[in-house]
């Protein structure tokens, strides 16, 4: 049985755990060959690669620091060389550092922008040179791009707002080549970094219309749809996967 992403090659940055791993699984389940990147968790990356290969697709992992544009560009090219082409780029890698205005160090501000914005920019610029018609670029943003529901997330919100703006501009730039560019904006998702039983879970659940956390695989399914042929007329869009948090 031919699956909807059979023959496609995908890169998921920061794909060794959490939402990134769920996205990699969803793409593989739909038949795509998948490369994941990681910065400091080689064992988790190797384990996920084996899991993806068991689904009958090709899979590989590469180490890359998303804060360094040169490494990101090399990563994109390595994936294209390994699979022979690159059809789907998922910019998932990111960091989340909180603190009130004036209390976050300059280094932490710079780190968030370097990874959350600069790393995405570098990946898209390189992928745009390689991708052909039907290419898909999907960035994992955040509901924080349009709302800051609690204090201390201004810097993070700014990075995700920048990615959202970039998405709209890139959609215009790459539309003539037949490449779509979209951003998925999750709300509270049950991961190790933000568990559904964590200290701030009650307030986050109450903020959603559904009264619960989302599951990583729900984000993965959304990304897999945007990567498919069925989403060919969706570009420049911000897709909320937040249980109604931003409603």
User: Quick check: helix, strand or coil at residue 30?
Assistant: coil
Residue 164 has pLDDT above 90, yes or no: yes
Q: What is the band of 57 on the pLDDT scale with cuts at 50, 70, 90?
A: very high
Whole-angstrom distance, CA of residue 200 vs CA of residue 218: 21
- Per-residue pLDDT, averaged over 18-24, amounts to 97
Strand segments, DSSP code E, in the chain are 9-12, 33-38, 59-63, 88-91, 136-140, 180-186, 238-241
User: Quick check: helix, strand or coil at residue 244?
Assistant: coil
Whole-angstrom distance, CA of residue 204 vs CA of residue 207: 5
Whole-angstrom distance, CA of residue 8 vs CA of residue 31: 8
Measured from the Cβ of residue 209, the count of other Cβ atoms closer than 10 Å reads 12
Summarize pLDDT for 98-125 with one digit per residue, the tens: 999 989 999 999 999 999 999 999 999 9
Which amino acids are annotated catalytic?
Answer: 156
Summarize pLDDT for 172-206 with one digit per residue, the tens: 999 999 999 999 999 999 998 889 998 889 999 99
Tokens of 84: 């022979």
Measured from the Cβ of residue 110, the count of other Cβ atoms closer than 10 Å reads 13
Buried b (16+ CB within 10 A) or exposed e, 8-45: bbbbbbbbbbbbbbbbbbbbbbbbbbbbbbbbeeeebb
CATH architecture of the domain with range 9-240? 3-Layer(aba) Sandwich (3.40)
Residue 26 has pLDDT above 90, yes or no: yes
Q: Contacts for 107-112 with beta carbons within 8 Å, 24 or more apart?
A: 108/155, 109/155, 111/67, 112/155, 112/156, 112/159
* Residue 206 confidence (pLDDT): 94
Q: What is the band of 129 on the pLDDT scale with cuts at 50, 70, 90?
A: very high
Q: Contacts for 201-207 with beta carbons within 8 Å, 24 or more apart?
A: 203/150, 204/245, 207/149, 207/245
User: Quick check: helix, strand or coil at residue 89?
Assistant: strand
User: Domain coordinates of the chain in residue numbers?
Assistant: 9-240
């Amino acid at each position: 049985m031919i699956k909807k992403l059979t023959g496609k090659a995908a890169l998921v940055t920061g794909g060794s755990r959490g939402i990134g791993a769920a996205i990699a699984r969803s793409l593989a389940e739909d038949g795509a060959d998948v490369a994941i990147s990681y910065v400091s968790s080689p064992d988790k990356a190797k384990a996920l690669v084996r899991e993806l290969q068991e689904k009958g697709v090709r899979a590989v992992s590469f180490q890359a620091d998303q804060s360094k544009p040169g490494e990101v560009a090399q990563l994109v090219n390595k994936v294209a060389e390994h699979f022979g082409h690159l059809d789907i780029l998922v910019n998932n890698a990111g960091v989340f550092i909180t603190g009130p205005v004036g209390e976050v160090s300059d280094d932490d501000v710079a780190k968030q922008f370097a990874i959350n914005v600069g790393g995405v920019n570098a990946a898209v610029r390189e992928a745009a040179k390689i991708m052909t018609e039907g290419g898909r670029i999907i960035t994992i943003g955040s509901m924080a791009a349009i709302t800051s529901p609690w204090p201390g997330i201004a810097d993070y919100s700014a990075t995700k707002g920048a990615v959202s703006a970039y998405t709209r501009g890139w959609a215009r730039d790459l539309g003539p080549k037949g490449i779509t560019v979209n951003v998925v904006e999750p709300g509270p998702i049950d991961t190790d970094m933000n568990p559904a039983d964590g200290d701030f879970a009650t307030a986050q659940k109450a903020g959603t219309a559904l009264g619960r956390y989302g599951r990583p695989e729900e984000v993965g399914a959304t990304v897999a749809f945007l990567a498919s042929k069925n989403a060919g007329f969706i570009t420049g869009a911000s897709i909320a996967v937040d249980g109604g948090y931003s409603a």
